[in-house]
Amino acid sequence: MRTKKFITTPIYYVNAKPHIGHAYTTIACDTWARFERLKGNDVFFLTGTDEHGDKIVKAAAAEGKTPAAYCDVISREFRDAWKKLGLTPDDFIRTTEERHRVVVQAILQKIFDAGDIYAGEYTGNYCFGCERYLTDKELNEKGECATHLKKPEVISEKNYFFRMQKYLPQWKEALLKNPSQISPEGYFNEVLGTIDELIKNGEDLSISRPKTRLTWGIELPFDKNYVTYVWFDALINYVTAIGYGTPNFEPWWAEAHHMIAKDILKPHGVYWPTMLMAAKIPVFKRLVVHGYWLGFANQKMSKSLGNAKDPLDLADKLGNDALRFFLMREMNFGSDARFSEEIMMNRLNANLANDLGNLVQRTLSMLKKYDCGPNPSAPPHSSRGAIDAALKTLRGDYLRYFENFEFHNAIESVFVVIRLLNKVVDDFKPWALAKENMPECAALLNTLAQAIAAVLLYLRPVLPEKSAEFLTLLKVESAQEFPESLEEVTLAAQKLETWPIFFQRLESAE
Ligand code: ME8
């Protein structure tokens, strides 16, 4: 059955250009969106930029630009980066757009009218990196923000508060009934812990900033001396983009899936659902959370620590597909992963140059050399039974892993079949058969070519450019998007001329 999937990335701050961490989440959502589209579902894939707040003002000032001019430049860099990486979001939202201001003000007014926003005084430890007040537990032993390694500033001011406390018990109850709403499981537990801690300290959420301190934001509809707190503004992007208040909204919102890294679990796992409850909008369907890419000294890669890689440089060097493959295969979704040139080179050489690249290269070369295909009327080879059994298992595993956001396992399940195919080549030795038994050699090579087509069909979400190139070369038709037997896969008869190398082995810089 055809269903809808609304898939979102966080909207990224424009205080610096995109790095590997941003690329990872956006590529993961793109991979997932392609998978859903291949399954025949309707997808709306959203990304964008988060442009208000203190830290953007500071970043603009450091470059001698107005916030608006500065945001235009960096937001454009994000948009262009995704295009260069071959990503295909359906929309790119900017929180400085008029369509967003209207929705933020409408939601604020609705919650204010319902009596869930009130004026109050607050003193707390504010981290400008996180753009929120931190609790003592969120500080390290030096009293710094554990994420940004900077001392928070003590800020005391009159602000408007959202009665988050009123909705926390309700949210906790709903979550306990539906634990898969936040996954992997560790993050579900973390959110429950955060809810309990917030209930214990009894604090509500400050949702405004006085214009005396900050003007770069969306004005509160009920007090023109204040702008909206950047997180309250930013989270609403997810409903703005699909037309909150129009008939388009509900069908997409019912299938809302947010992907984030664990740094922003609290705003998404606690602020956002309680805001939605207060605004009488159903809570998102699912929140999926991944870990960090760690750079030098195993620290989170980030712009503030200055240890992050530029995804565009890497894509220039490796190609879009190889970068994408490395990121999606290397990180166990949910856990942290280490990034280094060496780890990347080992992964790409092992999987793309050796396992898959060799299989493609030697099979196609022999088909050409022995002039025996692709030929759809070649009889099946005796290895076919084992290959079909492996494809049947693959289909079940692959679909299940994707449903659980285990991208790394979904990819690995395809490589189980690729390794089997390499073993078939080694065991049956087509180069020897070519001398002794040409009909069997032709049967074997055609069966292998079909099997290569089958695995490329599975690799489309993660290697979109390479798989399209070779599926076109082989003139492949398949009865199913993810075939479970070779019977479903046909290759048109042709004589292969030339083809590009599948993946060029990487050599160490030393
Ligand atoms: O938090 N490893 O924006 P942001 C993995 N504007 N992912 C990483 C990463 C790393 N080392 N570094 C960044 C904000 N990311 C807010 C979001 S949403 C309504 C507002 C990715 O620019 C990851 O997706 O700091 C993380 O959650 C996000 O970038 C934070 O981006």
pLDDT class for 308, splitting at 50, 70, 90? confident
Same domain, 293 and 355: no
- Residue having the nearest C-alpha atom to atom 7 of ligand 1: 21
Give, using CA atoms, the residue closest to atom 30 of ligand 1. 12
Whether 183 and 307 share a structural domain: yes
Asked whether 391 lines ligand 1 (CB < 6 A), one says no
Q: Is residue 73 part of a domain?
A: yes
78 CB within 6 A, ligand 1: no
CATH of the domain at 401: 1.10.730.10
Assess if residue 424 is contained within a domain: yes
Verify that 306 and 350 share a domain, yes or no.
no
| Residue 83 annotated in active site | no
Structure confidence by residue, pLDDT tens digits, 48-106: 999 999 999 999 999 999 999 999 999 999 999 999 999 999 999 999 999 999 999 99
pTM listed for this prediction: 0.95
pLDDT in tens, 175-184: 999 999 999 9
Question: Choosing from 300, 309, 408, 466, which is the catalytic residue?
Answer: 300
Q: Output the pLDDT for position 137.
A: 86
Summarised one tens digit per residue, pLDDT across range 434-448 is 999 999 999 999 999
In a domain, 375, yes or no: yes
**509 pLDDT tier (thresholds 50, 70, 90):** low
303 belongs to the catalytic site: yes
Active-site residue, selected from the candidate residues 52, 148, 262, 290: 148
Give residue-wise pLDDT tens across range 117-142.
Answer: 999 988 889 998 888 889 888 999 99
226 Cβ contact partners less than 8 Å away, ≥ 6 residues apart: 159, 160, 208, 209, 210, 211, 219, 220
H-run or E-run covering 187? helix 185-201
Please report whether residue 14 resides in a domain.
Answer: yes
Is pLDDT of 510 > 60? no
Q: What is the per-residue pLDDT across 355-401, written as a single tens digit (0 to 9) for each? A: 999 999 999 999 999 999 899 999 999 999 999 999 999 999 999 99
26: domain CATH number? 3.40.50.620
**Mean pLDDT for the stretch of residues 469-480:** 94
**Claim to verify: residue 263 and residue 407 sit in the same structural domain:** no
pLDDT of residue 132: 86
Same domain (yes/no): 199, 255: yes
Q: Which two tokens stand for residue 209?
A: 């900033």
> Is pLDDT at 240 greater than 70 in this prediction?
yes
Q: Is 17 a catalytic residue?
A: no
Taking a C-beta distance cutoff of 8 angstroms, is the pair 104, 236 a contact? yes
My answer on whether 306 and 452 are in the same domain is no
Give per-residue pLDDT as tens, 163-173. 999 999 999 99
Q: How close is the Cα of 131 to the center of ligand 1, in Å? A: 13
In this structure, the answer to whether residues 286 and 347 fall within a common structural domain is: no
User: In angstroms, rounded to a whole number, what is the distance separating the alpha carbons of residues 61 and 480?
Assistant: 55
Whether 53 is in a domain gets the answer yes
Sign of CA dihedral 194, 200, 201, 203: positive
Q: Which residue has the tokens 């002039």?
A: 371
Residues 58 and 199 in one domain: yes
> Which helix H or strand E contains 400, and what residues bound it?
helix 384-403
248-307 residue pLDDT tens: 999 999 999 999 999 999 999 999 999 999 999 999 999 999 999 998 778 898 877 778
Whether residue 325 lies inside any domain: the answer is no
Look over the chain and give the mean of its residue pLDDT values, rounded to a whole number. Answer: 96
Decide if 349 is inside a domain. Answer: yes
Instruction: Based on the residue annotation, tell me whether 290 is a catalytic residue of this protein.
Output: no
Both 201 and 164 in one domain: the answer is yes
Domain count within the chain: 2
Give the residue with greater pLDDT, 130 vs 346: 346
Domain check: are 297 and 407 in the same one? no
Is 130 among the catalytic positions? yes
CB distance 293 to ligand 1 below 6 Å: yes
Nearest-atom index, ligand 1, CA of 301: 11
Long-range contacts of 439-443 (CB under 8 A, 24+ apart): 439/379, 440/381, 441/366, 441/370, 441/372, 442/370, 442/372, 442/373, 442/375, 442/378, 443/378, 443/379, 443/380, 443/381
In a domain, 328, yes or no: no
Residue 293 is inside which H or E element, if any?
Answer: strand 293-294
Nearest CA to ligand 1 atom 3: 12
Q: Which residue segment(s) compose the domain that 233 sits in?
A: 4-320
* Same domain membership, residue 185 and residue 55: yes
pLDDT the model gives residue 307: 81
Q: How far does residue 18's CA lie from ligand 1's centre (Å)? A: 10
For the chain, give the percent of residues with pLDDT over 70: 100
Residue 420 pLDDT exceeds 70: yes
Atom of ligand 1 nearest to the CA of 264: 27
Ligand 1 atom having least distance to the Cα of 49? 6
133 and 178 both lie in a single domain: yes
Domain limit, last residue, from 289, 320, 351: 320
From the list 17, 22, 52, 381, the catalytic residue is 22
Task: Count Cβ atoms below 10 Å from residue 145 Cβ, excluding itself.
Answer: 21
Is 408 among the catalytic positions?
no
